[in-house]
């Protein structure tokens, strides 16, 4: 695979332009160091701040921020902090009220269906900024990170048809997948509708890398997030695209805000475009035998992303190719420490796909 050198140069120039524009906005009052303290644990562990940004970019400030900026998880440094960050799943670790004069930031990569705090107005009103999977949040940081341009396994060498890896049997995706499996072969490696072994050890899924490597040999990957919430896109879509396995998507239409850039528009297959699971199965069976049509979904793999200039100012462009997350947060806190007077609740008011699936099942 060869990537257009002009694209690489343009990307670098655009990133430099973004940095210069932000640097121009910096004045003398913004030159003091901004310390961001990640106050709560992430699930059960302390966040590994400033770790490898390629592997885990959610807790990274970088070394070249236009202003002095530091992210820490050391609560002993609270007196130095300009802002505190709380994780949406650890609401019992709210900072004491004596620190309400600081900027409070809520971080979530979880959807509101399974995160009650996001639906609680009394909780949400405490925060000034939101760092979230939502592309319309103050600091977008979805688990859908930039896919890898590694060449896919050639069409003729892929010995698997469809792969699914689910550990939680949510009603919508489970019912749809069960119906789809009546009409076409699906290798399901998870605990949910599992019929294949190799990716589970002691009941737990192996590393993301292992999943991606297995997907490389499959023509299609089932990518059904556990809820159809606005902009909710997980690492599963990143994994399938990076593996060169065409994703079959059942989730938010907000994914179009990502796929409209860089040859990605025709990179996934949407469940909603088919009248039934049977119709989808018939399409996949035909596509699996047609190398020319199949490879159209992998055009971005062969030709590179080819991002236009406008991409670098978009929410996903800033996340994929902009300055690191916590550098952006430092810049904003230095300019506007007050932020918003509380955050709106998020109730996950996406389309009711359960009702749609029930209609499909009635036709069987």
Residue 12 belongs to some domain of the structure: no
Do 192 and 283 belong together in one domain?
yes
**Rounded-to-integer distance, Cα 126 and Cα 123, Å:** 6
The confidence band for 77, taking pLDDT boundaries of 50, 70 and 90, is very high
- Give me the number of domains the chain comprises: 2
pTM exceeding 0.85: yes
User: Residue 39 corresponds to which tokens in the numbers above?
Assistant: 């106050």
Measure the CA–CA gap between 132 and 109, rounded to whole angstroms. 6
Eight-state DSSP code of residue 39: -
Q: Which of 83-87, 202-206, 248-252, 271-275 has the lowest mean pLDDT?
A: 202-206
Buried b or exposed e, range 18-46, using 16+ CB within 10 angstroms:
bbeebeeeeeeebeeebbbbbbbebeeee
Mean pLDDT estimate for the chain: 88
Do 296 and 160 lie in a common domain? yes
As a whole-number percent, the residues of the chain with pLDDT over 90 amount to 72
Q: What is the model's pLDDT at position 78? A: 97
- Beta-strand relationship, 34-38 and 69-72: parallel
pLDDT category at 234 given cuts 50, 70, 90 is very high
Residues 117 and 179 in one domain: no
Per-residue DSSP letter, 40: S
Mean pLDDT of 330-348: 95
In the predicted structure, residue 129 carries a pLDDT above the cut 70: yes
Q: What are phi and psi of 21, to 5 degrees?
A: -60, -40
User: Which pLDDT tens digit goes with each residue over 32-71?
Assistant: 899 999 999 987 788 888 877 776 789 999 989 999 999 9
Mean pLDDT of 15-35: 59
In this structure, is residue 225 part of a structural domain? yes
pLDDT at 340 over 80: yes
DSSP 110: S
Ranges 12-16, 92-96, 133-137, 337-341: which has the least confidence: 12-16
Using DSSP, state whether 170 is helix, strand or coil: coil
- Cα separation, 362 vs 364, in Å, equals 5
CATH code where residue 233 lies: 3.40.50.11660
Rounded CA-CA distance 222/174 in Å is 11
Domain hosting residue 137, numbered range: 25-143+322-335
The CATH number assigned to the domain holding 56 equals 3.40.50
CB 341 within 8 Å of CB 123: no
Looking at residue 5, what is its pLDDT?
Answer: 38
pLDDT in the model for residue 90? 92
DSSP string of 330-351, one letter each residue = HHHHHH-SS--SS---------
Strands 269-270 and 139-140: unpaired
Specify the pLDDT at position 362.
66
Q: Residues 247-263: what's their mean pLDDT?
A: 95
Q: Which residues, in sequence order, are CB contacts of 199 under 8 Å at separation 6+?
A: 165, 189, 190, 205, 206, 210, 211, 214
pLDDT at 168: 85
Are 71 and 35 in a shared domain?
A: yes
Instruction: State residue 259's pLDDT score.
Output: 96
Choice among 48-52, 75-79, 316-320 with the minimum mean pLDDT: 48-52
């Amino acid at each position: 695979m060869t990537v257009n050198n002009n694209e690489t140069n343009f990307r670098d120039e655009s990133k430099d332009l973004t940095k210069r524009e932000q640097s121009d906005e910096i004045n003398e009052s913004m030159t003091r160091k901004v310390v961001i303290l990640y106050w709560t644990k992430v699930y059960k562990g302390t966040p590994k701040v400033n770790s490898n940004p390629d592997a885990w970019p959610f807790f990274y400030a970088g070394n070249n921020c236009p202003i002095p900026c530091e992210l820490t998880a050391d609560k002993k440094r609270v007196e130095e902090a300009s802002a505190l960050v709380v994780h949406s799943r650890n609401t019992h670790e709210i900072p004491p009220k004596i620190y309400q004069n600081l900027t409070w930031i809520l971080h979530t990569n979880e959807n509101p269906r399974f995160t009650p705090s996001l639906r609680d107005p009394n909780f949400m009103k405490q925060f000034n900024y939101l760092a979230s999977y939502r592309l319309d949040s103050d600091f977008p940081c979805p688990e859908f990170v930039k896919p890898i341009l590694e060449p896919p396994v050639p069409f003729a060498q892929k010995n698997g048809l469809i792969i699914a890896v689910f550990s939680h049997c949510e009603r919508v995706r489970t019912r749809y997948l069960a119906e789809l499996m009546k009409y076409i072969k699906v290798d399901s490696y998870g605990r949910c509708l599992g019929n294949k072994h190799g990716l589970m050890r002691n009941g737990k899924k192996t590393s993301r890398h292992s999943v991606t490597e297995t997907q490389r040999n499959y023509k299609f990957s089932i990518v059904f997030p556990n809820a159809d919430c606005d902009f909710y896109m997980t690492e599963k879509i990143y994994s399938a695209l990076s593996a060169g396995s065409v994703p079959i998507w059942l989730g938010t239409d907000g994914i179009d805000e990502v796929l409209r850039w860089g040859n990605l528009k025709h990179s996934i297959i949407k469940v909603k475009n088919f009248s039934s699971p049977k119709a989808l199965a018939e399409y996949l069976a035909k596509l699996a035998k047609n190398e020319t049509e199949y490879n159209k979904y992998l055009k971005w793999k062969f030709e590179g992303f080819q991002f236009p200039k406008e991409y670098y100012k978009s929410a996903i462009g800033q996340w994929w190719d902009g300055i690191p997350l916590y550098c952006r947060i430092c810049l904003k806190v230095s300019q506007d420490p007050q932020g918003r007077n509380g955050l709106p609740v998020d109730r996950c008011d996406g389309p009711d796909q359960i009702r749609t699936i029930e209609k499909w099942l009635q036709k069987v």
